Structure 1
Amino acid sequence: MRFDGDCRVLAKERANTRFHGRIEGDRPCAVPGCPEPGEFRAPPLEGASSDGPPAFRWFCLEHVRAFNAGYNYFDGMTAEEIHHAQRPLAGWERETRAFARAGGGDPGPRWHDFADPLDAISARFRRETAPERSDGKPLSGQDRASLKVLGLAADADRSALRKRYSELVRRYHPDRNGGDRSHEALLQKVIAAYQQLRQAPAFA
């Protein structure tokens, strides 16, 4: 990039290199006799035929602007066809294919069990497609994490929750282990998991 002491010239050159739609290359402009490189793509000529897909035309900036100015989407259409294409609902009448499986509901994304701290997607999918509690009560991602800490199944009830909590507190509390405080971190996790679950809808 050239710098000649004039910031305006430098800014102009920088803007040109980032012109929207410009694709640099050594293609010549499609207009006969034009010495500029063809850096802007345009549709192929109407009626051009080949064995493969039609090749695009490439124009310089000046000629692609002229092409765009003269382009008419409705060229060759009858008045009735133009009216039909301009209707607000044009295109909405076409039938779309169904995405649901023939044998049942949506299988869901392959990533439905990804780590989702806010439980914005994965828990909703699990609730709708594979409920894990016989009573139908929903479990959030945090509920499942807390159940894992306590070693409880998803179908555990409030009574089982209290019983398991008491067992683990007795197991990890220093007073039950001769003052050994090596399990304090586990004890804190157990307490936090219990407090979270006892207020969860599944254990209400």
Structure 2
Amino acid sequence: MPKRRTKPLTATDAAAPFQRVCEAPGCRLQGEYRAPRSRDRLNEYRWFCLEHVRDYNKKWDYFAGLDAEQIEQHIRADTTWRRPVWPLGTRGGGGPRINDPFGLSDDAGLGERPAPRMDGSEQLTPAERSAIEVLELSWPLTQADVKSRYKELVKLHHPDANGGAREAEEKLKEINAAYSTLRACDHLPAD
């Protein structure tokens, strides 16, 4: 590799570095502070002294000349840093595999969640859902189903049928409370 000759610096070359002058009319101070030329040319700057850059910044309106819809589009584009975006799982052969140990989403976060059931059970309160579990029933059900299951469980867990067992008495109290909750439920047909 051939050697490059470098010219040694002289005293005049090493003098003070280039200094900008403030671009404000009539100002001869050093222009140390930069400000963008326009919204369309953000990488091109004007140079001002401290006093004039403050004035420039007070008057600067990035959105000048844009209507409300254009401003909204601009803000929306800025939320993704003006880069293209795709829904998760639609680009690159199915997208990344996401570890979902709790099963909070279908297929480990890929695709859409299943649609909620619209069979009437969405109207049930948490207490009513709990009561259905206590009576060991599943949705859909009617008041007749609840009454029939209640009778079965009372016969099974009544303390007299279990030799006065304390556990049977507690279970019977729980069954009675669940039955009372479901009897008052407006979402069950009388059938």
TM over 0.5: no
Computing the radius of gyration from Cα coordinates, the structure with the larger value is: 2
Greater percentage in strand: 2
- TM-score normalised by the shorter chain: which range applies? 0.3 to 0.5
